[in-house]
A and B are shown apart, each in its own frame.
Chain A
Amino acid sequence: MSDPLLRVERVSKSYGDEQVLREISFEMDRGDVTVLIGPSGSGKSTMLRCVNRLTEVDSGEIYLDGERVTGPDVDVNELRRQVGMVFQDFNLFAHLTARGNVMLGPRQVLGLSKEEARRRADEQLALVGLADQADSYPAELSGGQKQRVGIARALAMEPKLMLFDEPTSALDPELIGEVLEVMRDLVERGMTMLVVTHEMSFARSVASEIMFLDGGRIVERGPPEQLFERPEHDRTATFLRRITQLHS
C-alpha cells in the first residue's frame, strides 16, 4: 500500500480573467505536514478550499486515499466528513456554546446519540485545553480560545486530513502561541496536515515539506532546511527575507 493519502494532479482554477492556480500537482503521505507559503493572492487558500471542494477546480484531479474527489458524482458531504478545516476567522457557530459547536457535526452528520456526541466533544475540548470553557459562547471566548474550539470542532469528525487556512492570522500576537501549540500536539499525534501560514518558525520546525506558491504556481518545494537556507529561486529568497523581517 503505497497510495498517498492526498494526490493533487494538475489542478487549475481561475476567477474570471485571473488564473489563481496553474496546474498544481503534489502528494502527501499519511502523517505528512505540508506547509504552503507565499504572498497574498498566490492561490494558497484556494488550493486548500479545492481539497474539500468549498471551491470547485476548473481542471485537474484530486484523490483522497486513492479515491477521486473531484467530479460531479462525488458525495461532497462524505468527503468533507473526512477532511477537517480550520478557518482564518474561526467561523464558530455564534448561537452555540463551545461544546455545541463541537457536537453539531457528530450529531447531525455522524448521527451519534446526544450522550456520545457530548462525550466526544468534551474529549476534544480537553485535548485543546478548553475543558473548562465548554459552556461558553463564542462571543465570550478570546481569539485563541475560539480557534482552539475551531480545531476541536474539525477533529470531532475524526478526519483523515486537516486543512488549516491561516489559523493564526486573525489573532493578536500574544494569542498565537496557544494555537500553534495545539497544532504541534496534533503533529505529534501523527495527523496529516495541509497548512497555509505565515508563521515561518512554526513551519520550519514541524513541516515535512514546504511549498512556495507565487502567481498560482509552485515556484519551489522541499524540506524546510533546504528551502529556508538554500532557496534556489530569487523569488523564494526575497519572499522569505521580507516575511522574516516583518515577523521579527
Chain B
Amino acid sequence: MSEPVADAVREGETATRTIPAGRPLVVLAGGLFWGWLLLRWLNDWLGGLFVPRGEPFVSPEAVEALGAAVPALRGLFDSTAFAVTYLPALSAGVWLTIVLTATSIALGFVLAVPLSVARVYGRWTSYLSLAYTELLRGTPLLAQLFVIYYGLNFVQYVPPLLDGVFANNAVWAAIVGFTLNSAAYQAEYIRSALLSVESGQLTAGRAIGLTKLQAIRYVVLPQGLRFAIPGWTNELIYLIKYSSLAAFITVPELFQRTNAIASDNFRYTAMFSLAALLYLALVISASRLMNAVEDRVAIPGLGARGR
C-alpha cells in the first residue's frame, strides 16, 4: 500500500533541515562578507588602493556620529564603529586562517588517499596505515603542534625556497602539523567511503583485465571519493576551527590577532564576538560551498544526493 501519510501522530517527527533565516538574506550576507574581504585584501596588498593600509574603509567616527543622530539605535552604531575599527587588523588574520586551512586540507588529502587505500587493500601496509591514523587521532592536535614546533624545532628545517613566503616560519610548522593530523582524519573518512563501494565493483574491474591498482584507481576511488564528500566537508570545517590552535605556536592567524588586540584594549567580549562571527562566516561558507560541490559531482543513483 502506498497511501500518503501525513497526520497528527507523525507531525514533527521528520524535522526538515531548513535554513533558519530567509535564503536571500543569507546570500546577501555572504556576498557582503566576501566582497568586503576581497576588497580589504586587495587594498592592503597593493599598498593602499582605496585607503591607507590597515585603515578602515569607513571611518568609525562617522559611524558613531550617525549613532548620535539616531539615539534609539545608538548601541548598534557603537558596536558597528567598534567592528569597523578592528576588522582591518582581523582581515589579515582571516587570510592566514584560510591559507592554513586550504593548504593543509589539500596536502592532507594527498596523504590520505594512499593511507586509506593501504588500509583497505594493503597487507602489511594496512597495519602501518592503521598505526599512523590511530596515533594521530589518539593524541591532541595541540600536542602535535607542540611536538613539531617546540620538540623538533621545525622552523630550522624550513628550506630556503620556502623561507620568507610567510613573515613567520612558524606558519610552515603549523601547516605540517595540520597536514599530518588532517591526513589521518581524512583517511578514516575515505576508508569508510571505500568500504561502502560494493565489492562487486572491484571484481568487475579485475574481470575486464585491470590490475588491482588500476581497478582501485579507475573504478573504486571515483565512487568512494564521492561518498566521502560529506565526511570530508566535516573535516574541512573542523580544520577551519582548529587552525586557531596555530596561535599557540605564534602564528598570527585570526584567533591570535584577536587575542593580541583584546589583551591590549581589554574588550574581550566584543573582540571575541567579532572573531566568532568571522569564524562562523567561514564555516558556513565552507559548508555551502561543499554542498554545491557535492551536487555538482553527483552521479545519478550513487550516494545520497545522486538520486
Contacts and interface: CB of A to CB of B under 8 A. Distances in A.
In the complex they form, whether A and B have CB atoms below 8 Å apart is answered with: yes
A166 B2 CA distance: 12
Pick from A16, A41, A53, A55 the residue with the most CB of B within 10 Å: A55
Contacts of A49: 7
B7 to A, nearest CB: 5
A133 interface: no
B7 A41 contact: no
A55 B7 contact: yes
Contact of A43 (B3, B7, B8, B9): B3
**Which secondary structure dominates where chain A touches chain B?**
loop
B4 interface: yes
7 contacts: A20-B3, A40-B1, A45-B1, A46-B3, A55-B5, A166-B1, A169-B1
B7 A54 contact: yes
B69 interface: no
Interface residues of A, number: 20
Interface string B5-40: 111110000000000000000000000000000000
A56 B7 contact: yes
Size category of the binding interface on chain B = under 10
A31 B206 CA distance: 65
Interface of B: 1-9
Given A53-B8, A54-B9, 12 more contacts: A15-B4, A16-B4, A20-B3, A40-B2, A41-B2, A41-B3, A44-B1, A45-B1, A46-B3, A54-B7, A55-B5, A166-B1
A88 B7 CA distance: 18
A229 interface: no
Contacts of A45: 1, 3
Interface centre among B2, B3, B4, B5 (most CB of A within 10 A): B3
Contact of B1 (A15, A18, A88): A88
What 7 pairs between A and B have smallest CB-CB spacing? A15-B4, A55-B7, A45-B1, A45-B3, A46-B3, A56-B8, A54-B9
Contacts of B8: 53, 56
Contacts of B6: 15
A90 to B, nearest CB: 14
A44 B2 CA distance: 11
Interface in A3-32: 15-16, 18, 20
Contacts of A53: 8
B119 to A, nearest CB: 31
Contacts of A166: 1
A43 B7 CA distance: 15
A35 B260 CA distance: 78
Nearest to A196: B1
A80 to B, nearest CB: 10
B56 to A, nearest CB: 54
A15 B6 CA distance: 8
Nearest to B9: A54
A15 B8 CA distance: 13
Nearest to B6: A15
B274 to A, nearest CB: 47
Nearest to B8: A56
A83 to B, nearest CB: 14
Nearest to A169: B1
Contacts of A16: 4
A56 B2 CA distance: 18
Contacts of A44: 1
